[in-house]
Amino acid sequence: MKATKKPSVQNFEIANLEEFHSFVRNEILPKVKHHTLFLLTGEMGAGKTELIKTLAGLLQMQDAQSPTFAFHHCYKGPHSLSLHHVDLYRLKGEDDLESTGFWDLFEDEDAAIFVEWANLVQGEAWPWGWHPLHIHIEKTGEISRKITLQS
Give whole-number Cα distances, 137 to 104, 109, 147, in Å.
Answer: 27, 27, 5
17/99 Cα distance (integer angstroms): 37
Question: Which helix or strand (DSSP H or E) is residue 97 part of?
Answer: helix 94-98
Looking at residue 144, its pLDDT comes to 96
Mean pLDDT of 41-60: 93
Q: Which of 9-23, 34-48, 78-92, 103-117 has the lowest mean pLDDT?
A: 78-92
Looking at residue 1, its pLDDT comes to 43
Task: Indicate the domain borders of the chain.
Answer: 9-150
Q: What are phi and psi of 70, to 5 degrees?
A: -90, -15
Distance of CA 24 to the CA centre of its chain: 11
Give whole-number Cα distances, 79 to 11, 82, 83, 91, 125, in Å.
Answer: 31, 8, 11, 32, 30
Q: Which residue has the higher pLDDT, 12 or 108?
A: 12
Which CATH superfamily includes the segment(s) 9-150? P-loop containing nucleotide triphosphate hydrolases (3.40.50.300)
Q: Taking 50 as the threshold, does the pLDDT of residue 2 lie above it?
A: no
Categorize the per-residue pLDDT at 36 as very low, low, confident or very high, splitting at 50, 70 and 90.
very high
Looking at residue 135, its pLDDT comes to 98
Q: Which residue has the higher pLDDT, 16 or 70?
A: 16
pLDDT in tens, 11-35: 999 999 999 999 999 999 999 998 8
Residue type, 27: E
